Amino acid sequence: MKKLSLFFITCLSAFIFCSCDKDDENTTTVVPVSISLENKLTEDNTEFISEKEITPGTSTLDTFQDSNGLLTFDHYFADWGSGYSFSAFTYMNKTDNSASNSPVPYCKKAKTGKVYLAVNPSDYSPAIMTINNPSIYTINGAWVTNSTYAYNSMTIGDSYATAFKKDSYFKLTATGFDANNNVTGTAEIYLANYKSDNDKPVTEWIWFDMSPLMAAVKIQFSLTSSDTGEFGMNTAAYFCMDDIVLNKISL
């Protein structure tokens, strides 16, 4: 009986040892990778300008990547009679937000370094960010904040927008899509959420958790507001983003 018990224990130990070895071999390692655009601009107070030719009265699509080529961003540009203008994504290092319609962060600075993303999404120029190697990288999140334009639109109002009061909101939504353009999930964050008439929109950088979209190949960003009229949202459709984090997955 003792010999049989010893035999059983030996076999069980061997099984556990082999199982642990097998689990170790299949262990998945996840390493966070921060996205940077710091070396994309060499002069202060500048922004990305497409090298494609401007067609007067027409919006043109271009793209750009981060410094390591991990993400691709859609960039629309046009000249509607007052010079170069962008929609969807651009990057800049501007800090002057004295103009009421400035796309610069209300806090006048990037989350890290000097260069950040300014984003102006619309139905005609969707703000789409593509993960270039989705078999290795998945989205984790990013830091976001209000642009000066949107902040002023919510607190002062303008020719389109009305100043916010209790129950007003300004919400950022990220929608993930797979390679076949099927929705994989959504993530949301409020850039303003008035519980009283005395509340204010977000003025500093806040973390936007996009881990629910980890199966996404591309991510589209959109804005919604309580201040919406017959022709759509009245609040200025701008926000800023910095320090995007991807998860690098390896076996």
pLDDT of residue 15: 36
Q: What parts of the chain have a pLDDT lower than 70? A: 1-26
The pTM (predicted TM-score) of the whole model is 0.88
The span from the CA of 89 to the CA of 47, in Å, is 11
The predicted pLDDT at position 13 comes to 40
Cα 107 from Cα 202, distance rounded (Å):
10
User: What contacts 233, CB < 8 A, 6 or more positions away?
Assistant: 223, 224, 225, 227
Residue 141 CA, distance from chain mean position: 7
Show the tokens assigned to 219: 């991510």
Question: How high is the pLDDT of residue 25?
Answer: 53
Domains and CATH numbers, the chain: 28-250 (2.60.120.1350)
- The total of other beta-carbon atoms located within 10 Å of residue 84's CB is 13
Whole-number pLDDT of residue 26: 60
- Separation of first and last alpha carbons in the chain: 44
Tell me how crowded residue 83 is: count the other CB atoms within 10 A of its CB: 8
Residue 208 burial (CB count, 10 A):
20
Q: DSSP per residue over 233-250, as a string?
A: E-S---EEEEEEEEEEEE
pLDDT, one tens digit per residue, over 10-62 is 343 433 333 444 444 567 899 999 999 999 999 999 999 999 999 888 999 99
Please report which helix (H) or strand (E) contains residue 76, including its range. Answer: strand 71-79
Alpha helices in the chain (DSSP H): 2-25, 148-155
CA-to-CA distance for 201 and 196, rounded, in angstroms? 12
What would the DSSP string read from start to end of 14-48? HHHHHHHHHHHHTPPEEEEEE---GGG--SSS-B-
